[in-house]
Structure 1
Amino acid sequence: MLLACLAAPAAASYSQIIAFGDSLSDTGNLFKLTSFLPTGGIPGAPYYQGRFSNGLVAVESMASALGLSLTSQAIGGAQTGPGNEGGAVLYGTGVSGQIQRYEASHNRLDTNALYFLWAGANDFYTGNNIYSTTTYLTSSSNMLSNIRNLYNHGARDFFVPLMPDLSQTPEALNGTASYQSAALARTQEYNGALSAGLQSLSSSLTGANIVVFDTPAFMQKTVPTLAAAGLDVTDACYDTKLESVCSFQEQYLFWDNVHPTNTGHWILGQAFASAVQAVPEPGALYLEALGLVSMMWARRRQRQR
C-alpha cells in the first residue's frame, strides 16, 4: 500500500501544521542560522529564499492545500537525533533538538495541531553511513522517540512521510553501482523499521493518530507518468559544481543532486494533503498520481500564457 492510515481524523479538525525535519521541509531556518557568515546564509542564490529548492517545499504546498497555517522548525542538514550533517557547529539542530527547543517555548503543545515529521536521509549522507548496515536501527529509533516525546507533551496527530528512495536521486543515478545498491538497501531498511515501529507506537499511545505516507511507493508509481509527460526525472536542474541553472526549471523533478524542484515538492505536497483528507481505496493512489500530473501541467501552461 502507498500509505497506511492509523485512525486519521478529517483535515478540517486540525488547527495548524507544525513541521520538524531536514532540508526537505526547511522554509529558511538554516539560512537564518547561518546569515552571519561572510558569504551569507545557506543556501544562497539560486536557491529560493533559503529553501533547498527553487520554490516552496512539500509541507508548504500541503498546508496551502488543506487551508492550514504552517510553522516549520525543520533545518537543512538535520539528522533524526540532535546532530546535523553540517557538523559540530550545528549540533542540536537535528530533529530531536528542534523538538526540544519547540517544547521549551511552549508549556503545552497544541493538541489540535497536525505534527509533521520527515527526516532520515542525512543520517546516511553523513560520513560513510550509506554503506553502514546498522545506522538505520538508531535512526528509526530516534524518529519513534521524537514522536513519543511530542505525544508526552500533548501532541496527538502525526503525519510521517517515509524517507524518499535515496537510490533514485541524480547523485545515486550518476554514482557507482555499489553506491546505488547501498542507497536502496538503506532506504528499505530504514523505512521498514520505521513503519513497523510506527504501527507498534500507534497501538501503545492512547489517542494517537498517525498517518504514514509511503514516499518511495508513491514516487515509483508517479515517476513513469512524469517521464512520459516530458519531465526530466533523472538529472538535476542546478549543477552545483558549474553553478549553472537549466533553462526550464519546471521541466525537472530534481533541483540539485538530492533535492526536488518546486514541481516535485508540489506533487508531493498535494499527495500529502490527499492522504490527510481521506484514505484512498486500493489502486486509487495511482489514479491520484495521474491526476496530480495533469494538474501540474495545466498549472504550468497557465503560467506560460
Structure 2
Amino acid sequence: MAQFWFSILLAFFMVLTAVSGQGGRGREMVPAMFIFGDSLIDNGNNNNLPSFAKANYFPYGIDFNGGPTGRFSNGYTMVDGIAELLGLPLIPAYSEASGDQMLHGVNYASAAAGILDITGRNFVGRIPFDQQIRNFQTTLDQITANLGADNMARAIGRCIIFVGMGSNDYLNNYLMPNYPTRGQYNGQQYADLLVDKYAQQLTSLYNLGARKFVVAGLGLMGCIPSILAQSPAGGCSEEVNQLVLPFNANVKTMINSLSANLPGIKFTYIDVAHMFQDIVANARSYGLTVVNRGCCGIGRNRGQITCLPFQTPCPNREQYVFWDAFHPTEKVNVIMARKAFSGDRTFIYPVNIEQLANLDNETN
C-alpha cells in the first residue's frame, strides 16, 4: 500500500514540477499547502492525543460536511477557505492522512501548541511548533526517498507554507498564573524571546526547502469572549491587546530580515488584528450582529466555559463573530480567508496569497 501511494505521489509531483502553478477557478495554483499552527487551524491532530484541547465532538462541526473532525469551529477554519481559493481540496491532518490524501499537503497544527515547547502544558497533550516541523521533515523524507532531492526541492519551493503561531504563548503561557514567564519578562522582552525562536523555526522550514510563507499575526486577543468574560463591564482588555502588539511588530521586522538574508524566500503577512477590527467595526455590512459573545459556551459572554459536548449552540450562527470562547465562526473564517487571498495591503503585506502563489520562485 505504501509503494502504491508513493508511486501516485511521485507521478503527481513530477507533473507539478514540469508545469508552473496556474490560477483560475478549479485549477490548482500551487502543488500543495503545508499548515503549521494551533487550534485556530487544527483540523484533528489532537483527536487521539491525551489532551484536554479537543474539538472532535458535537456541536463542533455542526455546519461542516464531515461533522465533528477536530476543527475548533462550527465549520470551516481559515485555512480551509484558503485551500479552496487556491484550487486545492481541504488539507488533511497529519495524524489521519494516508495514501493519496496527502497529495495536496498536510496540516500539522495542534490545539494548545505554541512557539515555545512549554506552552499549553495545562492541556497535557499537544504538538509544539518544533515537533510540527519534525513531522514535516518526516513527510518530506518519505517523499524524497522516492522522488529525488532535486525534484522534491523544486516542488516544495512552489508550495504554500502557512504558519499561524503565538496565540497560546500568551493565552496558555504568559497570562497563566502557574507559568513563571510573566515574572521573568515584560511584554517587549517576551515578544523578543518568542520572535527570536520563531525566526529560527521558520529558517528550519526554509532549510527543508520551503520558500513561500504565509504568516498570520495575532488577533485582538483582548476582545475574545474568554477575556471579555473576565471584565465586570464585559469590555475588551486593552492590557491584553497592548501586550501582543510588540509580537506583531516583531514578526513584521522578522519577515523583512529573513527576506533580506534567505535567498529565494517570499512572505505574506496576514494582519489578523486589523482584519478583526474591520469586521467588528463594519459587522452589519458582513451580515454579523453579535460581536462580543460566543455562539456556544457557558457564562458571561458565553466565554467562561467553552463549548461542551452536545451543548445546543445558537441557531443564528451566521450572525456571530465568535463560535466559542476563543475561536471565530465559519462565517468569519471564510471572510478572513478571502481577505488574505485577494485583499490589498490594508490587511496583507507585501502581497496577498493569490499573488504569492503566482510568484515565480527560485529554489536555493
Give the shorter-chain TM-score range. Answer: 0.7 to 0.9
Deviation of 1:127 (Å): 4.2
Alignment correspondent of 2:86: 66
Larger radius of gyration: 2
Letter in 1 for 2:195: S
Where in structure 2 are there 5+ consecutive unaligned residues?
1-20, 62-67, 92-105, 145-152, 177-181, 299-304, 349-364
Contact 1:62–1:269 under 8 Å retained in 2: yes
Q: Normalised by the size of structure 1, how large is the TM-score?
A: 0.78
Q: Which residue of structure 2 aligns with residue 117 of structure 1?
A: 163
CA gap of 1:147–1:10, structure 2 versus 1, over 3 A, is farther
Q: Work out whether 1:198 is the aligned partner of 2:255.
A: yes
Alignment length, in residue pairs? 268
Secondary structure at the aligned position of 2:48 is classed as: helix
What value does the CA root-mean-square deviation take over the aligned residues? Answer: 2.8
- 1:202-243 deviation line (CA, Å, top 9, x unaligned): 111100011111111122123222245442111110014384
- Residue 270 in structure 1 maps to residue 338 in structure 2: yes
Structure 1 stretch displaced more, 94-103 or 170-179:
170-179
Letter in 2 for 1:60: D
Output the amino acid matched with 2:108. Answer: Q
User: Which one of 78, 85, 88 corresponds to residue 120 of structure 2?
Assistant: 85
Identify if the C-alpha distance between structure 1 residues 82 and 10 changes in structure 2 by more than 3 Å, giving closer, same or farther. Answer: farther
Asked if the contact 2:112–2:123 (Cα under 8 Å) also holds between the matched residues in 1, the reply is no
Bigger mean CA deviation after superposition, 141-150 or 76-85 = 76-85
Residue of structure 2 aligned with 1:256, choices 324, 339, 349: 324
Q: Provide the C-alpha distance between the structure 2 equivalents of 1:46 and 1:13, rounded to a whole number of angstroms.
A: 33
Select which of 37, 51, 55 maps to 2:75. 55
Measure how far apart 1:118 and its partner are.
0.4
1:259 maps to amino acid: H
| TM-score after normalising by structure 2 | 0.66
Counterparts of 1:10 and 1:175 in 2: how far apart (Å)?
Answer: 48
Secondary structure at the aligned position of 2:327 is classed as coil
SS at match of 2:72: coil
- SS class of match (1:60): helix
Q: Is the 8 A contact 1:235 1:254 kept in 2?
A: yes
SS in structure 2 at match of 1:106: helix
Q: Superposition pairs for residues 101-180 of structure 1, below 5 Å?
A: 101-107=135-141, 110-129=156-175, 132-133=186-187, 134-176=189-231, 180=237
CA contact (8 A) 2:225 2:325 kept: yes
- Is 1:44 matched up with 2:57? yes
Change (3 A) 1:40 1:81: closer
* Structure with larger RCO (C-alpha < 8 A, sep 6+): 1
2:112–2:172: 8 Å Cα contact kept in structure 1? no
Please tell me whether residue 224 in structure 1 is matched to residue 258 in structure 2.
no
